[in-house]
Amino acid sequence: MYLCKMDHHHGYTQERISKNIGLAFFLNLGFAVIELVGGLLTNSVAILSDAFHDTGDCVSLGVSWYLQKVSNRGRDNRYTYGYRRFSLLGALFISVVLLIGSIFIIKESIARIITPEPAHAQGMLLLAVLGIVINGLAALQMKKGSSFNERALFLHIMEDVLGWMAVLVASVVMLFIDLPVIDPILSLAICVWVLCNAYKNLKGTLKVLLQEIPENVDVEKLETALRALDHVLQIHDLHVWTLDGRQHIMTLHVVIDGNLPEAGRQALKAAVKAVCDDFEIHHVTVEFETGAESGECECVII
């Protein structure tokens, strides 16, 4: 009964996350089109650069939305850990697109700084207000969620809100001062944080693919905590990695006294699980070995 309740709650949560991402996707997609047209009409490279960024957001949200559904699939005869790592392929693609696109935008912005071109401040002001409202709605929708995925998307969309606030300030300045160079300068500033975030995402994705130890897991402290458990004589072959940056996995060998009764082993399994839970590792494979290395072992997934 307990497992059934957990599965039901998990399914409900995944459905809610999918709906939130879907709504954010359509809001961003509609506004990206508006930005593209508005950027061309106002001759604003800052708005065009943000239009490109929002298009990347749409791709990101679209891939996240699709892969959120795919990730609900459990293990099968092809993927014994399930489909969670499919999201990493999308992350790699999006990060590379953002990096390449930002280079072209930077090139155009530098050219505009050298040879400034007039921009339509009134149009920029209108689009900035619209951008704050639409991205703000998407951010509020993401803020309602509590999953890691929703939190990451919330922070990402909040960057858009702050970016449009900067465009709003620039457009107000240009209403009173003929300073067209502020537009490409603002575009460069937007590209800087786009590049920084794209680099962070790409770096993090590669770390997961290379099976680096999750950043929030201190292996030395983990081993110390496990060795401190009663009846644990030694720990070896401990491996920790993550499927998608959120679901961590660990395997280890625990050497115990061969005279430990079955009840004691069950209690030790629960103790190991409790320690791992404290380190946000919820999928653990433990192999028990006797101190005499008699070959007796027991493999348990907890």
Q: Same structural domain for residues 93 and 68? A: yes
Q: Same structural domain for residues 42 and 183? A: yes
- Nearest alpha-carbon partner for 45 in 108, 135, 129, 102: 108
* pLDDT given at position 39: 75
Domain boundary pick from 209, 243, 274: 209
Q: Same structural domain for residues 14 and 88? A: yes
Q: How confident is the model at residue 53 (pLDDT cuts 50, 70, 90)?
A: low
* pLDDT given at position 10: 44
Domain boundary pick from 189, 209, 229: 209
Highest mean pLDDT among 71-80, 140-149, 179-188, 265-274: 265-274
Average pLDDT on 274-298 reads 77
Q: Same structural domain for residues 143 and 185? A: yes
Indicate the angle between helix axes 45-70 and 86-114, nearest 10 degrees.
Answer: 180
Q: How confident is the model at residue 50 (pLDDT cuts 50, 70, 90)?
A: low
Q: Same structural domain for residues 92 and 238? A: no
Q: Same structural domain for residues 36 and 168? A: yes
* pLDDT given at position 149: 55
* pLDDT given at position 7: 43
* pLDDT given at position 296: 47
Low-confidence winner among 69-78, 92-101, 291-300 (lowest mean pLDDT): 291-300
Model pTM?
A: 0.67
* pLDDT given at position 161: 78
Which residues are bridge partners to 209 per DSSP? none
Residue type, 85: R
* pLDDT given at position 276: 92
Q: Which residues contact 300 (CB under 8 A, 6 or more apart)?
A: 269, 285, 286, 288
137: in domain: yes
Question: Dihedrals φ, ψ of 197, to 5°?
Answer: -70, -40
CATH number of the domain within which 259 lies: 3.30.70.1350
* pLDDT given at position 300: 47
CA 224 to CA 238: how far, in whole Å? 12
Q: How confident is the model at residue 252 (pLDDT cuts 50, 70, 90)?
A: very high
Q: Same structural domain for residues 234 and 197? A: no
Q: Same structural domain for residues 271 and 174? A: no
Q: How confident is the model at residue 150 (pLDDT cuts 50, 70, 90)?
A: low
Q: From its phi and psi, is residue 50 left (phi > 0), alpha (psi between -120 and 50) or beta?
A: alpha
CA 45 to CA 105: how far, in whole Å? 8
Average pLDDT on 201-228 reads 89
Q: Which residues contact 88 (CB under 8 A, 6 or more apart)?
A: 205, 208, 209, 244
CATH number of the domain within which 13 lies: 1.20.1510.10
What is the chain's alpha carbon radius of gyration, rounded to the nearest angstrom? 25
117: in domain: yes
- Indicate the number of domains in the chain: 2
* pLDDT given at position 281: 92
- Nearest alpha-carbon partner for 176 in 121, 105, 246: 121
What SS3 class is residue 249? Answer: strand
Q: Same structural domain for residues 114 and 167? A: yes
Q: How confident is the model at residue 29 (pLDDT cuts 50, 70, 90)?
A: confident
Q: Same structural domain for residues 165 and 293? A: no
Q: Same structural domain for residues 233 and 191? A: no
* pLDDT given at position 279: 92
188: in domain: yes
Q: Same structural domain for residues 203 and 262? A: no
Paired tokens of 152: 């990451």
Is 136's pLDDT higher than 80? yes
Paired tokens of 213: 């130890």
Is 301's pLDDT higher than 50? no
Q: Which residues contact 36 (CB under 8 A, 6 or more apart)?
A: 48, 51, 55
* pLDDT given at position 223: 93
Is 142's pLDDT higher than 80? no
Is 5's pLDDT higher than 50? no
CA 35 to CA 146: how far, in whole Å? 30
Domain boundary pick from 209, 237, 257: 209
> Within a 13 Å sphere around the CA of 102, how many CA atoms are in the beta-carbon half?
21
Domain holding 284, by residue range, is 219-301
Comparing 161 with 295, the larger pLDDT belongs to: 161
63: in domain: yes
* pLDDT given at position 166: 75
214: in domain: no
Paired tokens of 178: 């003929």
Q: Write the pLDDT tens digit of every residue in 255-265.
A: 988 888 888 88
